[in-house]
Amino acid sequence: MFSKAAKVLKFLSEYSQDLWLTLRHNGYSPLVERRRRQFYKLIIETHTIEKGLSLPRRRALFGRDKVRFVMSTLESYDPSFSPLPAQMALGALDAYLRFHREQDIEDPLLDEVEAVLERWRDHQVEFRGGIKPFKLDAVNPTSPIAWLQSRSSLRMFDGVPVSPDTVREVVAAAQSAPSQCNRQSTHIHLYQDRETIDSLLALQGGSRGFSEHVGNLFVVTSEIAAWGGAGQRNQTYVDGALFSMCVLLSCHSIGLGACPLNLAVTNAVERKIKEAGGIPTGERLIMMIAFGNMISEPLRVAASPRRALDEILHWHRCTAS
């Protein structure tokens, strides 16, 4: 009895410390350095422009508020912290402008974008990002690294349900994912009917602009019962994310497009998703994955350029030369 109470207290203590750590260091916290917060905010908002440009159908002058936000944040951003957000913002604004100019669309917003780009041309900041073509035959099968780097989140699906054999092939390959103590707590729920996909994607919210073309949807979950003590409180997400990555690579390996869809939702929304998808309450939602055959080329994807390696690779007392 005493040890059970101690376990519960340990959970409370650990979750309280998680709460403090998150409050102290999250992107809204005033205790976090302003330029660090701006770094992430600018990347996130710029990515929505890139993503908008990568969608199957693009509305004229979409994302006006985002474009204005990116332009104003760019003005106060210090590229010496990391050039990537500025490079991405300039690349995305440039692609946005070109997309509209190619269709002879005129608007004062586009003139503002042009003026911002002109000003930054003198700053020696490279324009990166926007959109890039996705070529099925560009994958070099003789180089595993080139193959790995050729995966992109794809949002241009033909909307047709893939065969049960193909689904089984994808998931069986993804089962090669490692899991803690080989406990394999990850489950994967498949949806191919329009009504359920629509209600699940409406609750998810991150597939606007391509949801109607999603004909195959996975929801990846992890069984909470596989985990015990307070130290393991986040392991559902670790194992679930590793499995999800393998699903993405497995789709890529057989030429299916796939796009991870975040389930960064409240508990109330998580419950609604479980209800809509017939998912047991004892499973934690990890992410959704839209997948399927792509429409015929030309295909485009958000460029999503990566940070300089030395920004994320930290060597700690390493001796190898």
Ligand X SMILES: Cc1cc2nc3c(=O)[nH]c(=O)nc-3n(C[C@H](O)[C@H](O)[C@H](O)COP(=O)(O)O)c2cc1C
Rule CB under 6 A: which residues touch ligand X?
47, 51, 152-153, 155, 206-207, 259-262, 287, 301-302, 304
The least CB distance from residue 301 to ligand X, in Å, is 6
CB of 302 vs ligand X, minimal distance in Å: 6
DSSP symbol at 124: T
Query: Shortest Cβ distance from residue 276 to ligand X (Å)?
Result: 17
Q: Which residue is nearest to ligand X (CB)?
A: 206
Q: Which SS3 state, helix, strand or coil, does residue 259 take?
A: strand
237: buried, middle or exposed (CB in 10 Å: 19+, 13-18, 0-12)? Answer: middle
Please state the closest distance from residue 252 (CB atom) to ligand X, in A.
10
- Reading the block at residue 212, the tokens are 């109607």
Cα 37 to Cα 30: distance, rounded to the nearest angstrom: 9
Residue among 93 and 303 whose Cβ is closer to ligand X: 303
Least distance (Å) between residue 152 CB and ligand X: 4
Give the other-Cβ count within 10 Å of 175's Cβ.
14
Instruction: Please enumerate in sequence order all residues whose Cβ is within 8 A of that of 208, keeping only pairs 6 or more positions apart, or say none.
Output: none
Give residue 10's identity as a one-letter amino acid code. K
Q: Yes or no: say if 284 and 240 are a contact pair by the CB < 8 Å rule.
A: yes
